[in-house]
Structure 1
Amino acid sequence: MHMCLHFARNPEDGQPKPTDRLFKIRPLIDYFNNKMADTYYPDKMLSLDESMVLWRGRLTFRQYIKNKRHKYGEKLYIVTEPDGTNIKFAVYTRQLNDFGGKGHAANVVLHLMENWLDVGHSIYMDNFYNSYDLAIKLLDRQTYCTGTLRVDRKHTPQEVKSQKLKAGETIARYSNGVLVGKWRDKRDVAYISTEFTNEMVTYRDKIERERQKPLPIYMYNKYMGGVDRQNQLMSYYPCERKTLRWYKKIGFHILQMLLLNSYLLFKKFTNSRMSIYDFRLQIVGGLVPEATGPAPGLRENTHHPKKNPQRPRGKAISRRCTYCFNIRKIRRDTSYHCPACRNAPYLCLDECFTLYHQNL
Structure 2
Amino acid sequence: MYCTDKRLSHKPVDVTMRLLQPLLDQGYRLYVDNYYCCPDLRNQMQGRNTMLVGTCRKNRVGMSADLFQNRQRPGDFDFRRKRQLVATQWFDKKEVVTLSTIHQPQLTETIGRYEVKEKPLAVIDYIKFMSGVDHSDQLLSYFPMRRRSQKWWKKPFFYLLTLVGVQTTILLNKHRTQHRRRRTNLASVLKKVSVALVDKYVCIIVHKIRFLDIPNTSL
Interval containing the TM-score (normalised by the shorter chain): 0.5 to 0.7
Q: 1:190 aligns with which of 91, 97, 100?
A: 97
Partner of 1:281: 192
Question: Are residues 1:148 and 2:55 paired?
Answer: yes
**Over alpha carbons, which structure has the higher Rg?**
1
Amino acid at match of 2:102: E
Unpaired runs of 5+ in structure 2?
none
Amino acid at match of 2:83: N
Q: 1:133 aligns with which of 30, 36, 40?
A: 40
CA 1:154/1:144 → structure 2, altered by over 3 Å: closer, same or farther?
Answer: same
DSSP-derived class of the 1:219 partner: helix
Partner of 1:118: 25
CA 1:262/1:139 → structure 2, altered by over 3 Å: closer, same or farther?
Answer: farther
Q: 2:151 aligns with which of 245, 269, 278?
A: 245
Partners in 2 of 1:237 and 1:167 — Cα distance? 34
CA 1:236/1:293 → structure 2, altered by over 3 Å: closer, same or farther?
Answer: farther
CA RMSD of superposed structures (Å): 4.0
In the TM superposition, residue 92 of structure 1 has moved relative to its aligned partner by 3.0
User: Deviation string for 1:204-254 (max 9, x for gaps)?
Assistant: 344x12221211123223333444422333455555455673422322222
User: Deviation string for 1:125-146 (max 9, x for gaps)?
Assistant: 2333222231233353332222
Which of 208-217 and 91-100 deviates more?
A: 91-100
Matches within 5 A, 1:1-360: 91-93=1-3, 96-100=6-10, 104-157=11-64, 160-161=67-68, 167-185=74-92, 188-206=95-113, 208-235=114-141, 239-241=145-147, 245-261=151-167, 264=170, 275=184, 277-278=188-189, 281-282=192-193, 285=196, 288-289=200-201, 290-291=203-204, 293=207, 295=209, 296-297=214-215
Partners in 2 of 1:299 and 1:167 — Cα distance? 72
Amino acid at match of 2:138: Q
Between 1 and 2, higher relative CO (CA 8 Å, sep ≥ 6) is seen in: 1
Q: TM-score, normalised by structure 1?
A: 0.45
Amino acid at match of 1:281: K
DSSP-derived class of the 2:119 partner: strand
Q: Say if 2:136 and 2:167, in contact at 8 Å, map to a contact too.
A: no
Q: TM-score, normalised by structure 2?
A: 0.68
Partners in 1 of 2:169 and 2:20 — Cα distance? 23
Amino acid at match of 1:192: L
DSSP-derived class of the 1:124 partner: strand
Structure with higher helix content: 2
CA 1:278/1:97 → structure 2, altered by over 3 Å: closer, same or farther?
Answer: same
In the TM superposition, residue 202 of structure 1 has moved relative to its aligned partner by 1.5
CA 1:248/1:150 → structure 2, altered by over 3 Å: closer, same or farther?
Answer: closer
Partners in 1 of 2:146 and 2:74 — Cα distance? 45
CA 1:195/1:158 → structure 2, altered by over 3 Å: closer, same or farther?
Answer: same
Alignment: residue pair count? 206
Partners in 1 of 2:83 and 2:34 — Cα distance? 20
Identity of aligned residues (%): 24
Amino acid at match of 1:99: S
Partners in 1 of 2:143 and 2:59 — Cα distance? 41
CA 1:263/1:166 → structure 2, altered by over 3 Å: closer, same or farther?
Answer: closer
